[in-house]
Amino acid sequence: MRKLIIIIAAMTFTTPALADAVAHIKNKAGGKIVLTDESCESNPDMKRSYFYTKKHYTEEGCWINDELTVLVDWEKMGRHRYDKKSSVLKSRWKLVNRW
């Protein structure tokens, strides 16, 4: 019985570290750009982003809220700005940043 209580307690207090998508933007390649709330490894001042295409190409990047745009530094594609009006924001994110 004691082992069962320890296992239940361990499962209750451990949570997986998953990034939550805060916004996504359709891209011209038939996929999406996804902005997450996870800290970016290469630049801790920015958040993690990634995109995928219809042909299953993916790439990682870092993003930051930059006034009227979203600034993303992609690993291979370089720096790009995206209009916030074209993004689909999660309701939780709207409350925080009021885009």
Query: Residue ranges of the domains in the chain?
Result: 17-97
Dump pLDDT digits (tens) for 45-99. 999 999 999 999 999 999 998 878 889 999 999 999 988 776 665 544 443 444 4
- According to the model, what pLDDT value does residue 89 have? 58
Beta-strand ranges (E) seen in the chain are 21-26, 32-39, 47-52, 58-66, 69-74, 78-83, 87-89
pLDDT: is 23 or 79 the higher one? 79
Pair 5, 11: CB distance under 8 Å: no
Compute the average pLDDT of residues 4-19.
53
